[in-house]
């Protein structure tokens, strides 16, 4: 910007959205918690936000409680849809939005990736992270890269300057 004239800087105070939380537990597999470990990813080709989250349930049917990975999308980042994916067998039914029961974190949508099957990247597991990739953000496969040590938290991001995942 070479020159500015007649402009005034005005910072507006942040206001909490009255409809929070925007991603709510509404299914049996989410009755304890809905927890995000990945910021929503904007997918420009589809004009949607996508997110992956940990869904936790209370014990039932004589089994211990469990955690799963849920998937949701939104056109505005406020109103989220949880499509019935037909991918994961949850207590005898695939009518759910679950993609599995392995923790999937730090999903990054890579619009610059030339290989469509690697457009989404993430880290799977908790006591050792495994690099995984996906064409659609729903069906994931390991990359063959070695697992790296990690415990409770791990973070991955893309550095545009160096062209590397950190």
**For position 141, what pLDDT does the model report?**
95
Band (pLDDT 50/70/90 cuts) for residue 134 is very high
Contacts within 8 Å (CB) and 24+ apart, 22-26: 22/74, 22/77, 22/78, 22/79, 22/80, 23/51, 23/53, 23/72, 23/80, 25/55, 26/82
Percent helix, strand, coil in the chain, to 5, is: 5, 35, 60
| Predicted TM-score (pTM) of this structure | 0.85
d(CA 133, CA 109): 10
**pLDDT tens digits, 152-161:** 777 788 888 9
């Amino acid at each position: 910007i070479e020159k500015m004239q007649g402009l005034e800087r005005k910072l507006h105070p942040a206001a909490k959205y009255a409809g929070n939380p925007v991603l709510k537990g509404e299914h049996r597999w989410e009755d304890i918690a809905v927890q995000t470990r990945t910021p929503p990813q904007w997918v420009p080709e589809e004009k949607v936000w996508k997110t992956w989250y940990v869904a936790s349930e209370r014990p039932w049917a004589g089994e211990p409680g469990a955690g799963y990975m849920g998937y949701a999308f939104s056109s505005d980042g406020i109103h989220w849809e949880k499509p019935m994916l037909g991918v994961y067998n949850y207590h005898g039914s695939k009518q759910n939005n679950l993609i599995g029961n392995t923790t999937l974190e730090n999903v990054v949508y890579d619009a610059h990736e030339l290989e469509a099957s690697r457009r989404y990247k993430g880290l799977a597991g908790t006591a050792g992270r495994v690099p995984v990739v996906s064409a659609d953000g729903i069906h994931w496969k390991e990359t063959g890269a070695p697992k790296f040590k990690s415990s409770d938290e791990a973070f991955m991001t893309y550095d545009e300057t160096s062209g590397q995942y950190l």
